[in-house]
């Protein structure tokens, strides 16, 4: 299965889960942000460019299955994925706790940013205390599904390939040149 089909399957599955299962399971009126999670993880595993592309498409899908104008979530998800991609380069490989804290923070910022962009388009008024409560609940409920989702996103976004292919490193020094 090629990388594009993997990403398509991932996004369609996440959109269906977001619109059906996770929309019904709510804590204090807040549901799991599956497509935002996929966006942030795409940036984390695939790098800023791949992550932003996947996140933009995830945002368009989120708006397609929801009641928001087309492009509102795409405006938020793409920069969040690019930010996660840039920060993942600077994280130590074994810093699992730091990565989880970063994921929670990214989901909180993404929820708040989506609410802010929605307020710019006149969707809902933004209240400070309610927005913080909503962002915290969404981030913690999203963290529950982050483990399995991370493995699937890594499979889809990287396609088994390394994120960056170094063109400066050649064959081992002293090897034959093939002549």
> Which DSSP string corresponds to 142-158?
HHHTHHHHHHHHHHHHH
| Predicted confidence (pLDDT) at residue 171 exceeds the cutoff of 60 | no
CA angle 165, 169, 175 (to 5 degrees): 135
Supply the mean pLDDT for the chain: 86
Q: Under a CB-based contact definition with an 8 Å cutoff, are residues 47 and 35 in contact?
A: no
pLDDT at 87: 86
In order of 52, 57, 86, 159, the CA distances from 13 in angstroms are: 19, 13, 26, 17
Query: For the segment 29-80, what is each residue's pLDDT rounded down to a tens digit?
Result: 899 999 999 999 999 999 999 999 999 999 999 999 988 888 999 999 999 9
The token pair at 160 is: 């088994």
- From the list 87, 98, 29, 39, the residue with the least C-alpha distance to 63 is 39
Asked whether residue 162 carries a pLDDT value surpassing 60, the answer given is no
Give SS3 for 56: helix
Q: What is the value of pTM for the model shown?
A: 0.84
Task: Output the CATH code of domain 3-156.
Answer: 1.10.1760
Half-sphere exposure of 149 (CA within 13 A, CB side): 24
Q: How far apart are CA 44 and CA 47, in angstroms?
A: 6
32-36, 59-63, 169-173, 175-179: least confidently modelled range: 175-179
Residue-wise pLDDT tens digits, 108-136:
999 999 999 988 888 877 788 889 999 99
């Amino acid at each position: 299965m090629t990388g594009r089909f993997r990403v398509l399957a991932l996004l369609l599955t996440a959109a269906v889960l977001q619109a059906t299962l996770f929309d019904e399971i709510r804590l204090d009126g807040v549901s799991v942000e599956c497509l935002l999670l996929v966006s942030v993880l795409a940036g984390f595993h695939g790098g800023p460019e791949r992550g932003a592309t996947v996140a933009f498409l995830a945002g368009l899908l989120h708006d397609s299955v929801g009641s928001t104008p087309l492009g509102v979530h795409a405006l938020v998800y793409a920069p969040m994925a690019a930010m996660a991609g840039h920060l993942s380069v600077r994280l130590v490989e074994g810093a699992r706790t730091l990565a989880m804290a970063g994921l929670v923070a990214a989901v909180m910022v993404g929820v708040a940013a989506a609410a802010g962009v929605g307020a710019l388009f006149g969707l809902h008024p933004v209240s400070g205390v309610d927005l913080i409560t909503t962002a915290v609940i969404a981030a913690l409920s999203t963290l529950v599904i982050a483990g399995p989702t991370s493995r699937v996103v890594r499979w889809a976004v990287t396609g088994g390939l390394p994120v960056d292919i170094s063109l400066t490193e050649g064959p081992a020094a002293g090897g034959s040149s093939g002549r």
